[in-house]
Amino acid sequence: MAHALDIDQLRTFVAIAEVGSFTRAAETVNKTQSAVSMQMRRLEERIGRPIFVRQGRASRLTDEGKRLMEFAQRMVRLNDETMTAFTEADMRGSIRLGIPDDYADRLLPQVLAGFARIYPTVEIQVDCSASSIVTERIRNGELELGIVTSADTGGLGEVIRREQLYWVTAAGQCVHEIDPLPLALAPSHCAWRISAISALDQIGRAHRIAYSSQAAVALSGAVVAGLAVTVLPESAIRSSMRILTERDGFPPLPNCDISLLQAVHATHPEHYALADHIAASLGNLRAAA
């Protein structure tokens, strides 16, 4: 019969893995260092394998510890969501959330589904606009929260997700060999467009804007039809597309950072609840670290 894992031990384990030190983790979970050490000894006994390697005052995960980390984060999160569902299920209110349409299509479903299970009576009004417009509406108090491309925020917000940008063309097409290169990009203020054109200019590759639209579905449509090349983050690439690399004559592109914005007036419990849920659902920086 499988032994049950202790959520409190897993929470402490996650804290140590994130800060890299038993001492600092003890402060995070509000325990003494000896209590933290005892919890980790008991967790290792329960797992039956070592999960930490001590390096002076620092601690790093073993390979088994890394495996456990994946499960521990999910178990702690599910435990917290379960308790919240029963202690704060009566939370009500309305939240105005701004997000670009391409993010809405591929990132928003996982946010809304989980949040609705915990807070079924909170209404979320979604405003699909460009990152720069969402940022401005956050500043003006027209929105409470925003999920935006970090380069378009002027340094506002907290970076919660990082993805690599890629040159993308249609699978089985050779439009990327046309000179000048036809591009399908967002309007001139878009950070991805600026990065793409700058990269092409640096290698002297002739190009032209063949299709321009604020709607991601329109740009992707032009690419899939074999009419142009665009730039997309990894999670937005479809099976009908293929990535163009330096072997195809395309320079590397920078990362795409995604930020969470919260308006100064967004101080109600439902605002913090959704902000925390977005960071937990979409964030990949902590896991990568």
The residue type of 172 is G
Report yes or no on 69 lying in a domain. yes
Query: 104: how many CB neighbours lie within 10 A of its CB?
Result: 20
> What's the pLDDT at 182?
97
Q: Kindly report, residue by residue over 111-148, the tens digit of the pLDDT.
A: 888 888 888 889 999 999 888 899 999 988 899 999 99
Residues 51 and 103 in one domain: no
Residues 168 and 57 in one domain: no
Q: Two tokens at 274?
A: 């959704």
Residues 179 and 234 in one domain: yes
Task: Please name which of 261, 268, 272 lies closest in space to residue 139, comparing C-alpha atoms.
Answer: 261
Q: Two tokens at 205?
A: 């590759």
Q: Give the predicted TM-score (pTM) of the model.
A: 0.65
> What's the pLDDT at 245?
94
Query: 225: how many CB neighbours lie within 10 A of its CB?
Result: 14
DSSP 192-261: HHHHHHHHHHHHT--EEEEEE-S-HHHHHHHHHTTS-BEEEEGGG--TTEEEE-GGGT-----EEEEEEE
Residues 98 and 46 in one domain: no
Report yes or no on 220 lying in a domain. yes
Report yes or no on 154 lying in a domain. yes
Residues 135 and 160 in one domain: yes
Residues 102 and 78 in one domain: no
Report yes or no on 1 lying in a domain. no
Boundary residue ending a domain (58, 87, 116)? 87
Give me the tens of pLDDT residue by residue for the chain, a chain 289 residues long: 457 899 999 999 988 887 788 888 888 788 888 888 899 999 999 989 999 887 766 778 899 999 998 889 888 878 877 776 666 556 778 999 999 888 888 888 888 888 888 888 899 999 998 888 999 999 888 999 999 988 756 667 888 888 899 999 999 889 999 999 999 999 888 889 999 999 999 999 999 999 999 888 899 999 999 999 999 988 888 889 999 999 999 999 999 889 999 998 888 888 988 998 898 888 775 433 3
Boundary residue ending a domain (63, 87, 111)? 87
Residues 209 and 135 in one domain: yes
Boundary residue ending a domain (53, 87, 121)? 87
| Number of domains observed in the structure of the chain | 2
> What's the pLDDT at 155?
62
> What's the pLDDT at 287?
39
Report the C-alpha gap between 215 and 129 in whole angstroms.
Answer: 9
Task: Please name which of 107, 153, 110 lies closest in space to residue 130, comparing C-alpha atoms.
Answer: 153
> What's the pLDDT at 288?
37
Report yes or no on 209 lying in a domain. yes
Report yes or no on 2 lying in a domain. no
Residues 132 and 65 in one domain: no
**182 by DSSP, 3-state: which?**
strand
DSSP class of residue 129 equals -
Report yes or no on 82 lying in a domain. yes
Residues 33 and 143 in one domain: no
Residues 255 and 152 in one domain: yes
Report yes or no on 129 lying in a domain. yes
Residues 119 and 258 in one domain: yes
> What's the pLDDT at 286?
44
Q: Kindly report, residue by residue over 184-231, the tens digit of the pLDDT.
A: 999 888 889 999 999 999 999 999 999 999 888 899 999 999 999 999
Domain residue limits at 42: 7-87
Where residue 280 sits, what CATH number does that domain have? 3.40.190.290
Place of tokens 């402060």: 27
Q: Two tokens at 244?
A: 């163009």
Q: Two tokens at 230?
A: 């665009």
Residues 151 and 198 in one domain: yes
Where residue 62 sits, what CATH number does that domain have? 1.10.10.10
